[in-house]
Structure 1
Amino acid sequence: MNAHFSEFLLPDALLRGLASEGYETPTPVQSQVIPLAMDGADLLVSAATGSGKTAAFLLPIMQRFLAVPAHAGGTRALILLPTRELARQIYIHFMRLGSFTRLTAGVITGGESKAHQIATLRKNPEILVATPGRMLELLQSGQADLRDLEILVLDEADRMLDMGFADDVLAILGHCRPNRQSLLFSATLHHRGLKDITDRLLRDPQVLAINPVREQHPDIAHQLLLSDGLEHKQRQTLWLLQHETFEKALVFTNTRDGAVALGNFLMGQQQRVAVLHGELDQRERNRVMGLLHSGRVNILIATDLAARGLDVPGVQRVINFDLPRSGDDYLHRTGRTGRAGEQGVALSLVGKSEWNRMESIVRYLNLTAETRAIEGLKAKFQGPTKRKGPGKPTPAMRKARAAAEKPEAPKVKERLRDRKNIGKRRVPTSAHGVEAGHAPLAKRPGDPTKTGG
């Protein structure tokens, strides 16, 4: 690992930007990606959330554009992302790192004024940060032009595919300059739709697997808290928020209604809370995030909309009020804490119906999780009931076992005449062919077929 960013031979303006943001030692993903990206290689990178990949692709882009300025022309770099929130975070990151440069960037996302974005494009920013839907719309209308594109970045590529952006991304590639450098970042390289994108996007890429998605984050402590239901979870969450020390906390629910209900409960308990979910329009989302960034609220209740794309400094607690639906969702939620070397805690409230899913997540991610309890708020549910051993067999069990183990009687060979006589009454006979126990009877004259008198 490089000891300092200066070893990348970055221009002084970028080193000053890094220093102003407190960057000193590159993360593993930065150490591996930056030199290769500066050499112009196409890269396919698997890196976990919170690993520092934003700076890993921004710094090489900015270094190239400072070294070789373009005095005329259109967009030189396009960064595609799955969500509006993530696009805004990347733009803010760029503005901070580039605060001592004259490089320019613009944001193109849905939910914002199209007229304002067209005005941004007319200024020819060197870097565009965009979501696929709105970017494709502007390309098809002729308002955007990527013929001068030098670098294309797809960040959170697996998430883009999950959100149904595959066709939009492929259509955007058709508008890009073929002779370009491409970088793709994904939490996993095993997504079923990823190969279609990489085959079209990358040329002879170098593959880097850094901090694999299932590798436990060294700066996050994982905890479990057993719960007995909705109201019990609300009381436990309130206790945690009132008694634990943190700068900011994220609390995740699985549904919009659940987020609103929990937000209303906590607001009623005088907590500084805001709620973020998919039904909010862009202006309201921006307002909520502004409240969190400014510190006017220190608790954000969110659905999985916010599990990716949020890079909020100071998040020291992530609480899974509802257990996530998969191990990957668990990673994306908990990755909001423990960032940039800070210590974080991820705590999951686990009810009886969620126990098996929690066990699956722990196995899938190979997690080490501590089970804790809150005095006065302990759950009646204490984990699955242990199955009883076989114990001492009862007489009925011994009899049944003996019957099962008794060898079967040998089968008697069935003869043809026996099969013909099925259903007929059989009369036992002696060796002489008469009924057993009776003397032979005389025949009646003229009646050859009957016996008896």
Structure 2
Amino acid sequence: MFSQFALHERLLKAVAELNFVEPTPVQTAAIPLALEGHDLRVTAQTGSGKTAAFVLPMLNRLMGPAKVRVDIRAVILLPTRELAQQTLKEVERFSQFTFIKAGLITGGEDFKVQAAMLRKVPDILIGTPGRLLEQLNAGNLDLKQVELLVLDEADRMLDMGFAEDVERLAGECANRQQTMLFSATTGGSGLREMIGKVLKDPQHLQVNSVSELAPGTRQQIITADHNVHKEQVLNWLLANETYQKAIIFTNTRAMADRIYGRLVALEYKAFVLHGDKDQKDRKLAIDRLKQGGVKILVATDVAARGLDVDGLDMVINFDMPRTGDDYVHRIGRTGRAGGEGLAISLITHGDWNLMSSIERYLKQKFERRTIKEVKGTYTGPKKVKASGKAVGVKKKKTDGKGDKKGDKKKAVTKGPTKRKSVNRPGAESLVSQDGMAPLKKRVTRPPVAE
């Protein structure tokens, strides 16, 4: 029960109003420590309730009587507009019975309108690093009195090249008393370096390991011969799988547009989302998906984070993501909050090694699946015999005399032959089949040019 936490009664009222009964594991682990004022570094899977784990303690810290706001007191940094908008909605839901106000600063919106909002001084400022820095450099933003800083999806911000921007903004919040860093993956050396710079004696909470991500999601692979075959498999899945809503991920905008066009031609209710779309179109795509106006969203990794849609129960990787972390965030769009989901990756010859490396990273083995109606010829790498030679029609090497290596029968020359032999200086003597005495080298003259 949320009543176990030392939260203000108005926050508990909001939690009850939203029908939140049992806290999730990350909330149970993080909220008490956050209420005590500790710096936190938290790793928890997508859809596990991370947002509430830092929003509730933040609001509790800012609670008090209504008064004129003169300083921004808390900042939440996030990698994408979509995630920032989602977080703003969560803050507004939990603060509905308080006097706390939040503001949003992201790219794609009118710069002057945002500057006007900043002059009203929200208690909590939510935004993406790039646009916040632009407002800071323009003299519209003062972060000197910030008490609490949250870095959400910190690993993704590093992936997107925001490391210096985040460090600059953290430096502007020099008087902060608490910092919390959340991510869905453990990240690499860059994340460890950031933790060392922005956190002070943090409590480390790893609610789950990477291999435990998305426990309610079945993860499958289907092999395909090429991209056209992938499209055939995709069409079969969309026509035959049972799902409420689905996301199809691609690695490029061009492929996303291509698939979207084909789905529209087949009269599917679909939308496309990628970096070339302006903020209005991106917001429309997500709203239509959430409201059920469309059933399928085709997207690049811009939608892999911050997208929380009820009923989204199937994810298809048309292109395999480039890293294990990207894979985790893609499939994290389904199977959220303990629900069930299906994640399917379409694998050609060029995708196999990448898929295998992601399996090793996750310490998981994806379920292999075959659809007989659209079965292709490619089923994965050729199996290897005990001798170490791959199965197939690969031509065997010869020993220079026209005999296959390893043949027990020695070559017998009957009469003159036109076969050319090359005697390489320094070549080792051939060993007879019984492994004892070496065979004599055959010495021939260089072939005469015709």
Distance in 2 (CA, whole Å) between partners of 1:19 and 1:375 is 49
Give the structure 1 partner of residue 295 of structure 2.
298
Which aligned runs of 4 or more in structure 1 are off by greater than 6 angstroms? none
Q: What residue identity is the alignment partner of 2:231?
A: Q
Match of 1:406 among 436, 440, 449: 436
Alpha-carbon offset, residue 234 of structure 1: 1.4
Q: TM-score, normalised by structure 2?
A: 0.85
Give the structure 1 partner of residue 77 of structure 2.
80
Alpha-carbon offset, residue 348 of structure 1: 0.8
Distance in 2 (CA, whole Å) between partners of 1:275 and 1:128 is 29
Q: Which has the larger radius of gyration?
A: 1
Gap regions ≥5 residues in structure 1: 410-453
Range 388-397 or range 89-98, more displaced: 388-397
Distance in 2 (CA, whole Å) between partners of 1:234 and 1:143 is 49
Correspondence 1:140 to 2:129: no
Alpha-carbon offset, residue 184 of structure 1: 1.0
Give SS of 2:197's match: helix
Give SS of 2:212's match: coil
Match of 1:395 among 408, 412, 429: 408
Correspondence 1:26 to 2:39: no
Distance in 2 (CA, whole Å) between partners of 1:263 and 1:377 is 21
Give SS of 2:368's match: strand
Going from structure 1 to structure 2, the CA distance change for 1:216 and 1:118 (only over 3 Å counts) comes to: closer
Range 19-28 or range 303-312, more displaced: 19-28
Alpha-carbon offset, residue 10 of structure 1: 2.3
Alpha-carbon offset, residue 68 of structure 1: 7.1
Q: Is this contact kept in 1: 2:74–2:124, CA < 8 A?
A: yes
Give the structure 2 partner of residue 130 of structure 1.
127
Match of 2:347 among 350, 353, 364: 350
Distance in 2 (CA, whole Å) between partners of 1:283 and 1:82 is 18
Describe the superposition over 1:288-338 as per-residue Cα deviations: whole angstroms up to 9, x where unpaired: 112112211011000111112222222100101111112111111101111
Going from structure 1 to structure 2, the CA distance change for 1:333 and 1:183 (only over 3 Å counts) comes to: same
Q: Is this contact kept in 2: 1:154–1:185, CA < 8 A?
A: yes
Q: Is this contact kept in 1: 2:314–2:342, CA < 8 A?
A: yes
Going from structure 1 to structure 2, the CA distance change for 1:355 and 1:177 (only over 3 Å counts) comes to: closer
Distance in 1 (CA, whole Å) between partners of 2:409 and 2:12 is 82
Give the structure 2 partner of residue 418 of structure 1.
none
Going from structure 1 to structure 2, the CA distance change for 1:175 and 1:228 (only over 3 Å counts) comes to: same
Correspondence 1:201 to 2:211: no
Give the structure 1 partner of residue 35 of structure 2.
38
Distance in 2 (CA, whole Å) between partners of 1:133 and 1:109 is 8
- The percentage of counterpart residues that share the same residue type is 47
Q: Is this contact kept in 1: 2:321–2:327, CA < 8 A?
A: yes
Give the structure 2 partner of residue 444 of structure 1.
none
Distance in 1 (CA, whole Å) between partners of 2:335 and 2:87 is 19
Distance in 1 (CA, whole Å) between partners of 2:314 and 2:144 is 45
Give SS of 1:224's match: strand
Alpha-carbon offset, residue 272 of structure 1: 0.7
Range 123-132 or range 71-80, more displaced: 71-80
Distance in 2 (CA, whole Å) between partners of 1:253 and 1:300 is 11
Give SS of 1:383's match: coil
The 5-angstrom pairing of residues 50-449 of structure 1 reads 50-67=47-64, 71-390=68-387, 394-396=407-409, 401-402=431-432, 405-406=435-436
Alpha-carbon offset, residue 69 of structure 1: 6.2
User: For this pair of structures, how many residues does the alignment match?
Assistant: 406
Gap regions ≥5 residues in structure 2: 390-404, 412-428, 440-450
Alpha-carbon offset, residue 86 of structure 1: 0.8
Q: Is this contact kept in 1: 2:8–2:60, CA < 8 A?
A: yes
Q: What residue identity is the alignment partner of 1:380?
A: T
Q: Is this contact kept in 1: 2:290–2:309, CA < 8 A?
A: yes
Distance in 1 (CA, whole Å) between partners of 2:216 and 2:28 is 19
Range 394-403 or range 366-375, more displaced: 394-403
